[in-house]
Each structure stands twice: as C-alpha cells, then as structure tokens.
Amino acid sequence: ESKLQLVHRHIRAFPDFPKKGILFRDICPILKDAAALTAVIDLFEEHVRNNHQQVDLIVGLDARGFLFGPLLAQRLGIGFVLIRKKGKLPGATVSVSYDLEYGKAEAEVQEDAVAAGQKVLLIDDLLATGGTLYAACELMKKLQAEVLGCMVVIELKELNGINKLKTHNVFSLVQY
Ligand code: 5GP
C-alpha cells in the first residue's frame, strides 16, 4: 500500500454535518493511526523539500491546520505560526474577515509572527471554497510576508477553491 492509499483509507465522510447538504470529510482517523499520520507528514515534507527549500515558516490555520503544521515544521527544522479565530491571540494582532463554506468568520495573526519578506507555506486540513486560505493569504500580505504556497490534506475539487487562490500554489494529498 502506498502512503497516499494509506492516507485515503483514513478519511471518513459524514453526510449532513455540520449542516444538511454538507458532506463532511473527517480526518480524525488519520490522527488516530500513527502510520497514516506519519504518511501525511512524509508526503508534505517531500513536497516542501522538492519545491520550497527557501521556506522560513509554516503557518497553520485554526484549528485542524494545527494538527499537521507543527509536525511538518519540526521535520523541516523551521518554526510554526498560528492563524487563529478572532479573540484568541494576546498582544498586537492584525485581522481579516471572510466567508466560510458554512458561515462567516474572522481570522487573526500576531503582528510580530512573521517578519516582512519572510517566506511562508500555509497549511490546513481541507480546501473547500478557498475562503479560509484566501483570508490567511490576506493576513500574510498585511504582514508583507511572501506566500510560497498552500498545503492541504484534502481538496474538494467541485467547490473550485483553487480558483480563489489562483495566485498561489496549492498542494493537496487527496482530492474529491
Ligand atoms: P473553505 O474556507 O475553503 O470553504 O473551508 C475550509 C475550512 O473549513 C477549513 O479550515 C476546514 O477545516 C473547514 N472545512 C470545511 N469543510 C470541511 C470538511 O468537509 N471536512 C473538514 N475536515 N474540514 C472542513
């Protein structure tokens, strides 16, 4: 079995969650299986080493980006930065509001989290409409960081999120 097949096998689908009509892709089984989680990080690491050797920081999205981002950053020997939902971060922050696949939200990052000119890779569990990663890119722009690309475990192709992010590289492990 390949690493990708192993990852694929540890994603479940739940219909009508969190709302009727949404087919929710659940990544919890990946976290529960040491080999599947290692495979995810191996595949991300390989992608970064092959394509983005200049990366300075991994930037993860609240909340499931926090499950994979620090593991990847540690593998690469670089730091991890959190983009959080509004009101969770102390000190000076910059924020941006955005639309979700289901609802509205506001994202925040600490002003000193990334220095101007630093090269970052964004990470989350899943790309749907692209609203969340778009907002994260906007935050990075406000800090004058350079976004090298985005990485997700799962990409929902039919929602065309990648078009919203057309100026950036998107790397996904599994596509539906
Ligand atoms: P977008 O902003 O691209 O529409 O939605 C992506 C965000 O919503 C991600 O932060 C992701 O965690 C969450 N999300 C939306 N749909 C799903 C889903 O089916 N499964 C999981 N695990 N997360 C989802």
Backbone dihedral angles phi then psi of residue 116, each to the nearest 5 degrees: -55, 135
29 Cα: distance to centroid of ligand 1 (angstroms): 16
Q: Round to whole Å and give the CA distance between 130 and 110.
A: 22
Rounded to two decimals, the ipTM of the complex is: 0.98
Longest dimension (CA), the chain: 47
Q: Round to whole Å and give the CA distance between 159 and 156.
A: 6
Residue whose Cα lies nearest atom 14 of ligand 1: it is 126
Q: What's the pLDDT score for residue 173?
A: 98
Active site residue 64: yes
60 lines ligand 1 (CB under 6 A): no
Residue whose Cα lies nearest atom 24 of ligand 1: it is 126
150 Cα: distance to centroid of ligand 1 (angstroms): 14
Q: Round to whole Å and give the CA distance between 78 and 58.
A: 7
User: Which residues are CB-contacts of 80 (< 8 A; sequence separation ≥ 6)?
Assistant: 57, 58, 59, 60, 69, 70, 73, 74
Q: Which domains does the chain have, with CATH numbers?
A: 53-175 (3.40.50.2020)
What is this structure's pTM? 0.97
Q: What's the pLDDT score for residue 113?
A: 98
Q: Round to whole Å and give the CA distance between 126 and 61.
A: 10
Q: Round to whole Å and give the CA distance between 154 and 146.
A: 23
- H-assigned helices in 55-175: 65-76, 131-142, 161-164
149: β partners: 121
Q: Print pLDDT tens along the chain (176 aa).
A: 999 999 999 999 999 999 999 999 999 999 999 999 999 999 999 999 999 999 999 999 999 999 999 999 999 999 999 999 999 999 999 999 998 766 789 999 999 999 999 999 999 999 999 999 999 999 999 999 999 999 999 999 999 999 999 767 999 999 99
Query: 58 and 95 in contact (C-beta within 8 Å)?
Result: no
